[in-house]
Structure formats: C-alpha cells, structure tokens
Amino acid sequence: RLLIIDFGSQVTQLIARRLRELNVYCEIHPYQKVTDAFLKEFAPKAVIFSGGPDSVTREGSPRPPKAVYDLGVPILGICYGQQVMMQDLGGRVVGGEGTSEFGRAYVTPEPDRIDLLQGWFMDGSGREQVWMSHGDHVADLAPGFKVFGTSPGAPYAITADLDRRFYAVQFHPEVHHTPNGKTLYENFVKDAGFTGDWTMGAYREEAIRKIREQVGDAKVICALSGGVDSSVAAVLLHEAIGDQLTCVFVDHGLLRMNEATEVVTMFREHYNLPLIHADESALFLGKLDGVSDPETKRKIIGGLFIEVFQKYADQIEGAEFLAQGTLYPDVIESVSFSGGPSVTIKSHHNVGGLPEKMGLKLVEPLRELFKDEVRVLGHELGLPASFIGRHPFPGPGLAIRCPGEITREKLEILRKADAVYIDQIRKHGLYDEIWQAFVAILPVRTVGVMGDGRTYDFACALRAVTSVDGMTADYYPFTHEFLGETATRIINEVKGINRVTYDVTSKPPGTIEWE
Ligand code: XMP
C-alpha cells in the first residue's frame, strides 16, 4: 500500500482519487500522525508528500519524520511536499515577494530523460500544461537531485534523485488542469512495484473493517435520505454491523412526488434494514413558514435535522453514532482546512451547522469518495443500477428549489412539474446522460392566456446539467423540440404554472441548485 502524508492541501483527496483510478490502494494520513512507529507499522511501498498551505521557511512548519527517507521506497513530493523534501535533504527554499506562481503554467523538458515522465512532452509542442499554486520555491537543489523539467516561474519544476527514487515536483499533477498528471502517477506507482490489482471490492472490505473498528459494539443511527450517498452508506453499514444499525428516514415534507413511500418500501422490504419513517413535515414546514433567505432556510433545515435525529437517537438505547453519506465534495465546499480561511459557498446541512453539543459521534464511510466512486461502490454492494444511477438530490430538498417563501401550494406545484420533467427526460432516453435535472419554481407570477381566459400563475425554471463531481457543471444542450414539448406538457398538466424557462448557466459562475 501507498502512504500519502497530508500537509493540508485542499486537493490531497484528489491524489487518492487518481491512485484509485489506477487501482492502487492508498491511505491518507495527516502529518501529525505519521511518526517513526507509524511508518514501521504501515510499511508503505511508496510515499507521497501532499501540498500544503504552510511555508517550509517558517520555523516549526509541518515535516515528515526523517525515517521516511531511510525506508528505501520511492517518494513523490508535490509542491509543499517538494519543498519539504529539498529542505530536509540539504537543499534551500526561499519565499517572499516574486516567488509565487498560481494557475496554468507550462513545463519544458531538460535534456535528461526520466521514467517518471514517460508519455510526457509527446504532443509535438515540446511542453506540458501543469497547475502551479505556490508561494515559495526551491532555490538550491539537495545533493543527488537533478532537474528534469523547468517552467518560467519554477526552474526546479521537476526534480529527482534517481538513485534513491525520490521525485519532487513543484506543480500539482493530481488536478484536472494538469491534463497528463495521471500518467505521472502511473509511472510513479509502476516504479514502486504496484501492479494495479486493487478494486472497489477491496475498498468495500477496507471500509467495513474501518466501520467495525470505529463503532465497536455501539449502536448507530443512519440518516437515510433515499439518495445514492446515504443509501450506499446505509447498506455498507448494515453489511458491517448488521442490526446494530437503525436507519431513520426523516421526511421533512420537502421530498419529490411519491419519494417517501418508494424509499421506505425499498429499504424495509428489499434490504431488510431496520428503518424508522419519521414524518416530521409539519415541524419543518412550520419552522420554514415565512422564511425566504436561502442560508436561513438551510440553517433551519440543518438544525431541525439534527434535533429530530437527537429525538430518535434518544429512543434507541445505546446509540452512540450518527452515520451520514457525506462525500468529499461536501467536505471541501463546507469546511476550511488547516485553519486556512476558505469561503463558505453554501452551508451543506450534512456537515454545516452540526452543533458541538450533539451527543452523537459521526461515522461517515464515504467521506473520501467522489460521486462516481460511490456509484461503483453501490454496484459492488448489489444496489440496482436504476437506483445507483439516480440523480443526486440535496439534503434540504425542494426548499432550495423554491426560491423565496415556501408554501404547501408551491411545493405541490413543484412536485408535479418535476415529475413531468423527469418523465420527459426518461422517455427521451436522456436520464443517464444528465448528471442532475430538476425544476425550480420561481417566486414570481406571470400573465398568460389559456383557452379564452387570462391566467396569472407561477413561472418555473428547468435545470439540467452535466458534471463529473458536482464541483463544476455545464447546462445540458436539449433540443428546442424537447424543450418546447416539455414546456407544453408542464403547462397543460400542472395547474398553477403558466410559463416555463430553461436555465443555461454553468457552474461556475452559477451553482447547480437555485439556492
Ligand atoms: P450546488 O448547488 O452547490 O450543488 O452547485 C452541488 C451539488 O450538491 C447538491 N447540494 C446539496 N447536497 N446538501 C446536500 O446533501 C445540501 O445542502 C446541498 N446543496 C446542494 C446539489 O444538489 C448538487 O448536486
């Protein structure tokens, strides 16, 4: 297995993801935890130092234990990880004005070749696009190191000590903006002797082992929403700890048409999961009455969610853990890492607003995964393909698709319009091509004419996006015929809507949801 030592970069999880794509098993551990004893016990076949927000020029900045350099295994240092390696091994790093570089850059090769770069510089341009994000840079190489690639802002962009198989790069090969980054990881793991035989099946076993280790004999309640994430988490937990798990399905009254019945039936009858159907719609809708500010809505829903859980947890004797299907993108969009002040875009209720006083510990078995990986895991666990392929649905549900005040009337209209829209998408065979599709009901009434009469009803917006992980998205290019047909159906079939618009905003600058 491969060890990733995390120095706090925002993109450390992407390194793990790239390695999983190469079927290599890896674990991320924060640098504080990686001691000499830890290294001995872990016995990594290769080590990667992640990037990080600190400066190695600062006294007391994060370091790996020196023993890591004596393991005799390949090490790859990335960005901060490169600088750590250089300084630890006798090189020199400088910071301050004029040494920073952010964004796209191009590296060109030096005359010496290196296996790490097999497949690089091949497109005829003689250079490779990479993503830089650094404040300091290496000024003098450590003894034994040579330069294999340079960029205008980083004369030591790619360096290595070939004898010891230590590689150190200034850029981030794990991000999309380093298009050939995956090849670099591929070469690195090959050099370390990995054969790429690890699978999601192995991840499942490992996840089950970790859940058992974390939970012990305690009871767990799981927030089952019926979405792919919480469903996969619930089934995984059930496999790990059986009836120590109780699922609570909180019906906040903000679900889609027939959703509650479908979820309850599926998990009780087909999966035999112990499931409580908590119909708390009156409570949620009551508290949301008259509220129109998006963040306030989210906070109310998030807060109530936890309260409701607390209530059910209290009824389950010995419940110590709350399980959630939090994914990695939720984590990075919601929290700031390593004390760095990063902006909260939206407070996702599954991580944001969790009160410290809550008497339950969290178990989040999907915290390291991206959506598409969760689907693979769901498949591995035997969940039906139609279910795994379902579009994501946000925790706050229809509340964030109903900008402005939420009323039962609007929710009813929205449910009907959404059902027609999704039906249209399925009928046209487009469901699986689209990452997420839904209707938002707009807080505006417009004038229309139907038959011989004037109407004054709500307008709605259709949303459909393509995406890989929800972090960026593009609107789906429906044909005009499809849009026209769908608009006609919605207006004919849904009383209360007389105007349909299509949202053609990508993310960024928009978000996928309307609130
Ligand atoms: P945005 O609107 O932020 O959404 O571009 C990205 C993805 O996240 C979903 N989403 C949420 N999921 N709790 C969730 O579990 C939330 O509070 C939440 N807000 C947005 C959204 O549906 C999309 O898939």
From 136, 165, 191, give the residue that closes a domain.
191
Query: Does residue 205 sit within a domain?
Result: yes
For ligand 1, atom 11, the nearest C-alpha belongs to: 394
Same domain, 352 and 207: yes
**Which residue is associated with the tokens 């027939």?**
258
Residue at which a domain ends, from 136, 158, 191: 191
**Cα separation of 221 and 248, whole Å?**
7
User: Residue written as tokens 């109407």?
Assistant: 455
Radius of gyration of the chain (CA): 26
Residue 354 forms part of a structural domain = yes
* Residue 348 alpha carbon to ligand 1 centre in Å: 7
Q: Does residue 478 fall inside a structural domain?
A: yes
Other Cβ atoms within 10 Å of 283 Cβ, number: 17
Q: Is the CB of 436 under 6 A from ligand 1?
A: yes
Are 377 and 425 members of one domain?
Answer: no
pLDDT at res. 331: 67
Q: d(Cα 503, Cα 188) in Å, to the nearest integer? A: 43
Q: Are 395 and 301 in contact (CB under 8 A)?
A: yes
Based on the fold, state whether residues 54 and 13 are members of the same structural domain: yes
pLDDT at 83: 96
Looking at the structure, do residues 176 and 48 belong to the same domain, yes or no?
Answer: yes
d(CA 84, CA 93): 9
**Helical axes 200-215 vs 228-241, angle rounded to 10°:** 70
Distance CA 132, CA 80 (A): 11
- Considering only CA atoms, which of 266, 300, 280, 292 is closest in space to residue 388? 266
CA of 261 to the centre of ligand 1 (A): 23
Q: Tell whether ligand 1 has an atom less than 6 A from the beta carbon of residue 8.
A: no
| Shared-domain flag, residues 445 and 479 | yes
Tell me the sheet residues that pair with 109.
Answer: 149
- Verify whether ligand 1 is closer than 6 Å to residue 348 (CB atom): yes
Kindly provide the ipTM of the predicted complex, given to two decimals: 0.98
With CA atoms as reference, report the closest residue to 192 among 411, 1, 4, 426. Answer: 1
Nearest to 512 by CA among 461, 446, 478: 461
Coil, strand or helix at 267: helix
User: Could you tell me the distance, in angstroms and rounded to a whole number, from the CA of residue 347 to the centre of ligand 1?
Assistant: 9
Say how many Å lie between the CA of residue 463 and the centre of ligand 1. 13
Positive/negative CA dihedral, 200, 39, 9, 165: negative
Q: What is the pLDDT along the chain (515 residues), one digit of tens a residue?
A: 999 999 998 889 899 999 999 999 898 899 999 999 999 999 999 999 999 999 999 999 999 999 999 999 999 999 999 999 999 999 999 987 666 778 889 999 998 889 999 999 988 898 999 999 888 889 999 999 999 999 988 889 999 999 999 999 999 999 988 999 999 999 999 999 999 988 899 889 999 999 999 999 999 998 888 888 889 999 999 999 999 999 999 999 999 999 999 899 989 888 899 999 999 999 999 999 999 999 999 999 989 988 887 788 788 888 889 888 888 777 665 443 333 333 444 444 444 444 445 577 889 999 888 888 999 999 999 888 888 888 989 989 999 999 999 999 999 999 999 999 999 999 999 999 999 999 999 999 999 998 889 999 999 999 999 998 788 899 999 999 999 999 999 999 999 999 999 999 999 899 999 99
Same-domain status, 486 and 419 = yes
In a domain, 421, yes or no: yes
C-alpha dihedral (191, 140, 78, 31), degrees to nearest 10? 100
The pick from 301, 348, 463 for probing ligand 1's pocket by mutation, whose C-beta has the most ligand atoms within 8 angstroms, reads 348
Nearest CA to ligand 1 atom 9: 394
Question: 161, 191, 221 — which closes off a domain?
Answer: 191
Whose tokens are 């992407």? That residue is: 14
What are the catalytic residues?
79, 172, 174
Q: Does ligand 1 lie within 6 Å of residue 256's CB atom?
A: no
Angstrom distance (rounded) from CA 147 to CA 198: 33
Exposure on the CB side of residue 363, measured as CA atoms within 13 A: 29
**CB of 396 closer than 6 A to ligand 1?**
yes
Residue 400: CB atoms within 10 A of its CB come to: 24
Whether the Cβ atoms of residue 137 and residue 170 lie closer than 8 Å to each other = yes
pLDDT at 357: 53
Kindly state if the Cβ of 510 falls inside 6 Å of ligand 1: no
Q: Which of 224, 348, 375, 513 to mutate to test the pocket of ligand 1 (most atoms within 8 A of CB)?
A: 513
Instruction: Please tell me whether residues 71 and 217 are part of one structural domain.
Output: no
Same domain, 209 and 88: no
CA distance 407 to 291: 10
State the Cα–Cα distance between residues 337 and 322, nearest whole angstrom. Answer: 23
Do 416 and 451 lie in one domain? The reply is yes
Q: What is the CATH number of the domain that holds 43?
A: 3.40.50.880
Residue pair 24/69 in contact by the 8 Å Cβ criterion: no
Instruction: Please write down the HEC assignment for all residues of 427-475.
Output: HCCCHHHCCEEEEEEEEEEEEEEECCEEEEEEEEEEEEEEECCCCCEEE
* 101 domain-assigned: yes
Q: Is the CB of 394 under 6 A from ligand 1?
A: yes
Q: Is residue 396 part of a domain?
A: no
Question: How far is CA 441 from its chain centroid?
Answer: 27
DSSP alpha helix (H) spans, 316-406:
328-334, 371-380, 385-388
Phi first, then psi: give them for residue 445, nearest 5 degrees. Answer: -105, 145
Query: Coil, helix or strand for 83?
Result: helix
Q: Are residues 173 and 209 in the same domain?
A: no
Give 121's DSSP letter.
Answer: S
Asked if the structure places residue 486 within a domain, the reply is: yes
Coil, strand or helix: which one is 95? coil
Is residue 77 within 6 Å of ligand 1 at its C-beta? no
Which atom of ligand 1 has the smallest separation from the CA of 514? 2
CA proximity to 395, closest of 449, 355, 350: 350
Q: 391: Cβ below 6 Å to ligand 1?
A: no
Give the contacts of 38 (CB within 8 A, at least 6 positions apart): 29
* Overall domain count for the chain: 3
Closest CA to 218 of 306, 310, 322: 322
CA-closest residue to ligand 1 atom 20? 394
Bridging pattern class, strands 319-323 and 361-363: parallel
pLDDT at 387 (0 to 100) = 84
Q: Identify the residue whose C-alpha is closest to ligand 1 atom 21.
A: 394
Residue 391 Cα: closest atom of ligand 1: 24
User: Which CATH number belongs to the domain containing residue 484 in this structure?
Assistant: 3.30.300.10
Cα 421 to Cα 427: distance, rounded to the nearest angstrom? 10
Q: Which residues are annotated as a binding site for ATP?
A: 225-231
Distance 511 CA to ligand 1 centre (A): 9
Residue 398 lies in a domain: no
Residues 235 and 305 in one domain: yes
Residues 457 and 340 grouped into a single domain: no
Q: How many CB atoms lie within 10 A of CB 495?
A: 12
Q: What is the number of the ligand 1 atom nearest to the C-alpha of 225?
A: 15
Amino acid letter, 204: R
Residue pair 276/247 in contact by the 8 Å Cβ criterion: yes
What is the residue range of 453's domain?
A: 407-502
> Which stretches of 177-231 are assigned E, i.e. beta strand?
219-223
Which CATH number characterizes residue 226's domain? 3.40.50.620
Residue 8, token pair as written in the block: 């706090």
Q: Whose CA is nearest to atom 10 of ligand 1?
A: 394
